[in-house]
Amino acid sequence: MKAIPTEIEGVFIIEPRVFGDDRGFFFESFNHQKFEQAVGQQVEFVQDNHSRSVKNVVRGLHYQAEHAQGKLVRCVSGEVVDVAVDIRKDSPTFGKVVTVNLSAENKRQLWIPAGLAHGFSVLSDAAEFLYKTTDYYHPESERCILWNDPDLKIDWQIQGDAQLSEKDKQGCSFSSI
C-alpha cells in the first residue's frame, strides 16, 4: 500500500498493490497495521457503509459537529469525484479542498480524518461507494455545507444538473461554520 499526501494535512490517497493477470486481479483492500503505518496515526473503524448513486448525483458536503467521523472511502463500481474540505479551525490547511477521482478501475481510496467535510459526485452512469468510519452515524450532529459554495469553488466534474437530496439543498455556507 502506498499513501500519497495531499494538500490537506492528514488526508492521504491510498493506492493498493494490485496483482493482476488474464484471470482477474487481487488486492488487499484494508490491512489495519499497514494502514496505521501509512497514515501515521492509530485508527479504529466502527462502521462500514455502502451507497449506490446514479450519474450527476452529488452527496455532501457532510460532517458531524460532534462525533466527528474519519472516513476511508472507495468506489467499487463506476467513478466518482471525491471531495474533502478541511473545516478544522486550528488547522494550517483550514479551508483547503482536495478532489480525487476514485473508480473501480484505479482502485484508489481516500483517507479523510475526523474534522473534515466530505462529499462526492458520480461521473459514471452509476457508482457504488464504500466507506469505513471511525465513529457511528449521529443524526443530531449531522451538518452540511452547500455543495456549490462560492468560497470553496469545487469542480465536481458533472455534466448537466446536479441531483441533490432535499437535505443537501439546505446546506449552510462555508463562511457560516
Contacts of 118 (CB under 8 A, 6+ apart): 60, 61, 62, 63, 71, 73, 82, 83, 84, 85, 112
Annotated catalytic residue 136:
no
φ/ψ bin of 67: left (φ > 0), alpha (ψ from -120 to 50), beta (otherwise): left
Place of cell 479551525: 89
What's the DSSP call for residue 140?
A: G
Helical residues (DSSP H) of the chain, grouped into ranges: 32-39, 166-169
* Catalytic-labelled residue, pool 32, 62, 67, 137: 62
* Catalytic-labelled residue, pool 63, 118, 131, 138: 131
What's the DSSP call for residue 173?
A: P
In total, the chain counts a number of residues equal to: 177
Annotated catalytic residue 62:
yes
Which residues are catalytically annotated?
62, 131
